[in-house]
Chains A and B, each alone.
Chain A
Amino acid sequence: MPPVKTRLPAVEGWFTLDDEAPALLGSKCTSCGNFAFPKETYFCRNPHCQGREFAETELSRTGRVWSYTNAGYQPPEPYVAADPYVPFAIAAVELAAEQMVVMGQVVAGVDVGDLHVGDEVELVLDTLYEDDDHEYVVWKWRPVAGGGAHGQTTGGKVGTGA
């Protein structure tokens, strides 16, 4: 039996390590309520806000596909690729409550042919890469069963929101 590897986040403090219902950890400005991911620490990026304090907040765990693609060729370092390289899909996902788009890999086994703009997807944790002793995990998007009802994303080609 192979030894159990220690599970570590590929980046510290960006998401919860809850296997059942993981969430990205963003920030909410205590002055204007602006969401940000990764978390703001110094200045609110709303230019009309003087806010300097931020509450950590879990972002919506589901969203709708804004657009998608795949990585047909192995990305260069510092991406740590499996050997042999296995192509993967990437989705940019619009979170309704936060009205922001978050990019992430799509779980293995889902290719671009399985995706559509507007599809509902949920956040999961999955292996990004491994070494001898550790498994490094990251957030990925996974289509929601029955969620391919082609919901609507907002805006035109230039983005979300009004």
Chain B
Amino acid sequence: MPDDKRVAVLGAGMHPWGKWGRNFVEYGLAAAGDALAEAGLPWTDIQYVAGADTIRNGYPGFIAGATFAQALGWTGARVSSAYAACASGAQAISNARAQILAGLCDVALVVGADTTPKGFFKPVGGERRDDPDWLRFHLIGATNPTYFALYARRRMELFGATEADFAAIKVKNARAGLENVNARYRKEVTAEEVLASPMVADPLRLLEICATSDGGAALVLCSMEYAKRHAGTDDLVTIDAVSTVTPTFPQTVLDMPGITTDSAATTDAIGPGFKQSVALAAYEEAGIGPEDVSLAEVYDLSSALELDWYEDIMLCKEGEAERLLRDGDTTIGGRVPVNPSGGLSCFGEAIPAQAIAQVCELVWQLRGRAGARQVEGARVGITANQGLFGHGSSVVVSR
């Protein structure tokens, strides 16, 4: 891939996920500090700060780029702040990458961090009868797990997925995350324990639905020229694609926070579904295909959703994800490990940090620094993520 189409990752950093209850800025600064240290750069060399926003922490969260820049000490660096639900972190990466590829800056810092309330995510306060996110809770009581469960049940009915398959995903990811110091849940679980946990949204149980977490993640990105000069080597980890495409009409999958889909009565739904289109755009931009992928980090908001992603990032055909799982292909040591970090299953979701954290994991894997969860010989990784209101992202990282 030509140097003017990719950016180098000089450093990655994370603040451990948990329910720490402190100010989100603290997590962002810790992650940024680690990423800068890994890059071997002082903060004052950063020319551009791309923040990923949190909507549950007041004004500082809405202008996260400036919040982090001020906290690190004003240097005159340009800033941006992006909110794109679960894809916020990828939008921040995309902003920094675009600035670098356009030649507007050489080196940028990407930061996302969140402090989350307890329990189900609910709409931000106030009575808002024109907000679909407010209405779905008020009129139906449809939480995020409601949607995950509708997809899971559909998989069971169409493709013969079983509750045992869903539990096996949780068991796999819990084992992978055991040695990950940044993971919140580091405890092995058995299928029996998963299947004995309370039913939240049938067929999904408590241990199969991702929690909401505090955490922070950061990346230092730069131009290839800058990286070669700074690192003194061509052996770099690079971001080769950032897909943030939106759905195409008619969007026929019930998508958070919608109560309905688009109508396909006058316009046929042709081509791939939305989630697959996100990954397809990333593959196309990177000039690779699913056969080139060594590992993947996908958004397992529920255990069952990970199976959908196997098909959407095209590790297998539709209806074959259960076989991939059962054959051990997606376990560390298998053909193409998925969520070697432990995934959202072990992290819980810190919304603006999560898509950045996915990339951090790929960076460390490709550098061979993932310790006990290392995927041997990893050369190319892909992330996949989806959030509310037509947001999704997929990032291709290679070495």
A47 to B260, CA, bound (A): 18
- Which of B137, B204, B251, B274 neighbours the largest number of chain A CB atoms within 10 Å of its CB? B137
Is there a chain A Cβ closer than 8 Å to B269's Cβ? Answer: yes
Contact indicator per residue, chain A 49-71, by CB within 8 Å of chain B (1) or not (0): 00000000000000000111111
Is there a chain B Cβ closer than 8 Å to A110's Cβ? Answer: no
Closest approach, in angstroms, between the C-beta of A77 and any C-beta of chain B? 6
Whether B318 contacts A157 by the Cβ 8 Å rule is yes
Residues of chain A lying within 8 A (CB to CB) of residue B254 = 66, 92, 101, 103, 159
- Which of B204, B273, B276 neighbours the largest number of chain A CB atoms within 10 Å of its CB? B273
Given the known inter-chain contacts A117-B153, A157-B318, please indicate yes or no for A34 contacting B266, CB distance below 8 A.
Answer: yes
Q: Which of A37, A38, A71 contacts B143 (CB 8 A)?
A: A71
Is there a chain A Cβ closer than 8 Å to B229's Cβ? Answer: no
On chain B, the number of residues with a Cβ less than 8 Å from chain A's Cβ atoms is 62
- Which of A37, A102, A160 neighbours the largest number of chain B CB atoms within 10 Å of its CB? A160
* Segment with Cβ contacts to A, from B57-65, B88-96, B193-201, B341-349: B193-201
Residues of chain B lying within 8 A (CB to CB) of residue A80 = 138
Is there a chain B Cβ closer than 8 Å to A97's Cβ? Answer: yes
A71 to B202, CA, bound (A): 8
A103 to B269, CA, bound (A): 20
Is there a chain B Cβ closer than 8 Å to A161's Cβ? Answer: yes
**Which chain A residue shows the least CB distance to B205?**
A72
Is there a chain B Cβ closer than 8 Å to A17's Cβ? Answer: no
Whether A79 contacts B151 by the Cβ 8 Å rule is no
Whether B141 contacts A88 by the Cβ 8 Å rule is yes
Residues of chain B lying within 8 A (CB to CB) of residue A1 = none
Contact indicator per residue, chain A 146-158, by CB within 8 Å of chain B (1) or not (0): 0000000001111
Given the known inter-chain contacts A72-B202, A77-B137, A128-B139, please indicate yes or no for A100 contacting B263, CB distance below 8 A.
Answer: yes
Closest approach, in angstroms, between the C-beta of A31 and any C-beta of chain B? 10
Residues of chain B lying within 8 A (CB to CB) of residue A105 = 140-141
Is there a chain A Cβ closer than 8 Å to B231's Cβ? Answer: no
Closest approach, in angstroms, between the C-beta of B112 and any C-beta of chain A? 24
**Which chain A residue shows the least CB distance to B311?**
A157
Given the known inter-chain contacts A67-B151, A156-B318, please indicate yes or no for A76 contacting B120, CB distance below 8 A.
Answer: yes
- Which of B152, B200, B264 neighbours the largest number of chain A CB atoms within 10 Å of its CB? B264
A156 to B157, CA, bound (A): 10
Q: Which of B119, B269, B308 contacts A76 (CB 8 A)?
A: B119
* Segment with Cβ contacts to A, from B18-26, B27-35, B121-129, B286-294: B121-129
Within B143-198, which residues are at the interface with A (CB < 8 Å)?
143, 146, 149-155, 157-159, 198
Closest approach, in angstroms, between the C-beta of B207 and any C-beta of chain A? 13
Within B224-279, which residues are at the interface with A (CB < 8 Å)?
249-254, 258-270, 272-276
Whether A45 contacts B262 by the Cβ 8 Å rule is yes
Is there a chain B Cβ closer than 8 Å to A162's Cβ? Answer: yes
A102 to B140, CA, bound (A): 11
Residues of chain A lying within 8 A (CB to CB) of residue B134 = 78
Whether A66 contacts B142 by the Cβ 8 Å rule is no
Whether B150 contacts A117 by the Cβ 8 Å rule is no
Residues of chain B lying within 8 A (CB to CB) of residue A98 = 263, 265
Could you tell me which B residues sit within 8 Å of A by CB distance? Answer: 119-120, 122-123, 127, 129, 134-143, 146, 149-155, 157-159, 198-204, 249-254, 258-270, 272-276, 308, 311, 318-319
